[in-house]
Structure 1
């Protein structure tokens, strides 16, 4: 093993007891075939099932399996960040525990890295079992954040990727709390390659991403990389002011040059309700940005590790 690159594989785990044994069997088989020294870092994100017990058993029979156990659930992005912070490999592969990210793709990621790529992203060809509406909304989100945030994200990108050590060091210096890692990895640059893959259905269990979590994920992505929603209030204010000015000119014309009476109460009420609604929307947007500033200035740790096993 001496002199060969060491590979770290970082995997967030949240209530994945039905997937861990199969994940370990397939992943370790692929890694051993590469004849490279490696470590597998499993990050327990506050699981409430037998996930931590199973991970501990895997560590006992294979000391290349290492475990970080959080004090509570901090979320997938922070679990990935913890894995990157504790990885010792010259390159780090991040992937999910549900086996929708096939371990058998790792040799191709390593090949791209050894050929000079510093970030090797994966792109889903098709997600089996994923609804049309979910795929469409994901593509729309990545198109939107690409336009507003000036970062290039493919519409079917995944958190299955390989990162070179220099990229890891850069990411370790970025300690923002609302972490949209796909955006951060695109933003830092470096030489990036893409590998398409066929996403399989979950091996066991159900997705942990509810609609509310997906919405929060989207809001984090937009707020982290774009101030366009804040500028939009200025643009909309200018538009409303311009339309109001035209309406004033129209009202003056009606009053001076015709005998018609202006319909007053209905138009005034509609205008007041419309402008009031717009103001409330943008107060909410400003509140979202301020809440993120509030979280940053508190300077709390990104995550709390309750237990380390194998380090």
Structure 2
């Protein structure tokens, strides 16, 4: 009976064929010690390798595996959303399949949940597995988020977490198309505890998150949870206008006192180029927000499911 399921494990998968078997073996060992009925929901996010084939093979061996197969790649945020939409347990754990999130940490999460926590966050102890550039970029993003976002985003906390069913139901009400799950997780609130874990080296495959994608991810977060960039450009524009007014007064006074001269064209050209560049940046920021409005207004589904395999 589905009402007897206590834990739902949501696992977004994209080209994870090589590591699925190792992940599943460790997850089973951990969950067997809980003494509870559980299910695993694997979301195949349009993988181009043998991920779906390997998942189908696992599902023939274990009755508590469900597979949500996307029609194409919709991204990790959509995959997590699809997993949450299909959970049946009293609590849900979101975890990556690459074993950088140690399944053994789930036991401590469950203990805190049973003690009353509604959300248990997995926080990485260090960023030793990241490059120096990625460490710097992540640190600057969290610093910026702490100052600008409408809700605080916990530092060094990713998608690895346990959520009570009431938290999942709250998240299911949020159907915006441009999704920044870290922000949405924080936005719904609820009583929260934190557990720390060591991030393991990735044993199988390579991460699909390069620096370019991480920068776009950061832009999504900023434009999803703050209008500060728009407000910033109001102040920038006001400051430049004031400077231009003062400069204009200076020119008038100089012309009256000393007469008009033809000198100053290089500085004038530089000033016009600077102002033009600032205007283009401001238009770009405004365009980013308008683009988000455009995408939301079309009200396309967050994801499309080709098949749900539930054996």
State TM-score, norm by structure 1. 0.95
Q: What displacement does 1:107 show? A: 0.6
**In 2, distance between residues paired with 1:13 and 1:75?**
10
Query: Does the CA-based 8 Å contact 1:11-1:94 persist in structure 2?
Result: yes
Matches within 5 A, 1:68-83: 68-83=68-83
Q: What displacement does 1:254 show? A: 2.2
Cross-structure match for 2:186: 186
**In 2, distance between residues paired with 1:260 and 1:199?**
68
Q: What displacement does 1:133 show? A: 1.8
Cross-structure match for 1:19: 19
Q: What displacement does 1:297 show? A: 1.1
In the alignment, does 2:290 pair up with 1:300?
no
Change (3 A) 1:2 1:284: closer
Cross-structure match for 1:45: 45
Cross-structure match for 1:105: 105
Query: Does the CA-based 8 Å contact 1:113-1:120 persist in structure 2?
Result: yes
**In 1, distance between residues paired with 2:206 and 2:41?**
22
Aligned residues: 311
Structure 2 residues without counterparts, runs of 5 or longer: none
Deviation readout 1:187-206 (Å, 9 max, x if unpaired): 11111111111100112111
Q: Say which SS state the counterpart of residue 300 (structure 1) adopts.
A: coil
Matches within 5 A, 1:129-148: 129-148=129-148
Q: Say which SS state the counterpart of residue 219 (structure 2) adopts.
A: helix
Cross-structure match for 1:207: 207
Q: Say which SS state the counterpart of residue 126 (structure 2) adopts.
A: strand
In the alignment, does 2:151 pair up with 1:151?
yes
Q: What displacement does 1:129 show? A: 2.6
Change (3 A) 1:212 1:101: same
Structure 1 residues without counterparts, runs of 5 or longer: none
Is the deviation greater in 185-194 or in 24-33?
Answer: 185-194
Change (3 A) 1:93 1:138: same
**In 1, distance between residues paired with 2:85 and 2:262?**
67
Q: Say which SS state the counterpart of residue 151 (structure 2) adopts.
A: coil
Cross-structure match for 2:269: 269
Change (3 A) 1:14 1:248: same
In the alignment, does 2:225 pair up with 1:225?
yes
Change (3 A) 1:84 1:110: same
Query: Does the CA-based 8 Å contact 1:128-1:200 persist in structure 2?
Result: no
Q: What displacement does 1:4 show? A: 6.7
Query: Does the CA-based 8 Å contact 1:120-1:192 persist in structure 2?
Result: yes
**In 2, distance between residues paired with 1:293 and 1:46?**
26
